[in-house]
Amino acid sequence: MIASPDRTPLPRTFFDRPILEVAPDLLGRILVRNTPDGPIALRLTEVEAYDGQNDPGSHAYRGRTPRNEVMFGPPGHVYVYFTYGMWFCMNLVCGPEGRASAVLLRAGEIVEGAELARTRRLSARNDKELAKGPARLATALDVDRSLNGTDACTAADTPLRILTGVPVRRDQVRNGPRTGVAGEGGVHPWRYWVADDPTVSPYRAHVPRRRRS
């Protein structure tokens, strides 16, 4: 028998732990996006950990800036950034306040509100592709920088909430190199995903961007 997802919000103490404990433990949790048109709920199937000033791949590696301010806490808040001049990506802040770390939400299964997600992901060939990749996930959930700093650890009717869901058994969790990360930060095996889940994004090594002549 498959357990019913627990709709209890995850407590802030869940996120106030080392990043490599939180990241795999996020798999199977439910992210709820409340929109004016109705809610969209997503079961997390793939995440990626970034360990602040200890991690060359992290936005906070060189310290605090206006862009990465939210990464320094409190834990359980949402960090949204804009990338490649086109896409938003969403993270959940972890660890003790004042020490930057966050988990990038890379992929998930839409379990509620798929009809709304489809209106934002018109290029998706099927529902398994609606949130298959971090930019697709943010697009499907209508996430942009206006949600940067949102507290996801609350029972209130807020734009974003993270619920307990059904945690994935550890024997079903896989890990490997982070996708598209260059240099020293690219070697960390800090991407975690649910084994054999069709919503997990394909691994891609970093490819340097060519400058136009």
Separation of CA 175 from chain center? 15
Beta strand extents in 51-122 (DSSP E only):
78-83, 87-93, 102-112
pLDDT tier, 1 (very low <50, low <70, confident <90, very high otherwise): very low
Under CATH, which number does the domain 6-194 receive?
A: 3.10.300.10
Q: What is the pLDDT of residues 158-210, one digit of tens each?
A: 999 999 999 999 999 999 998 878 777 778 899 999 999 999 998 877 665 55
Nearest to 62 by CA among 90, 32, 33, 100: 100
pLDDT at 165: 96
**DSSP symbol at 195:** T
Domains of the chain: which residue ranges? 6-194
**Whether the Cβ atoms of residue 65 and residue 52 lie closer than 8 Å to each other:** no
Can you give the pTM of this predicted structure? Answer: 0.92
Q: What is the pLDDT of residues 75-101, one digit of tens each?
A: 999 999 998 878 999 999 999 998 999
pLDDT at 181: 81
Q: What is the pLDDT of residues 130-150, one digit of tens each?
A: 999 999 999 999 999 999 999
Mean pLDDT value across the chain: 91
Residue 212 pLDDT > 90, yes or no? no
Residue 61 pLDDT > 90, yes or no? no
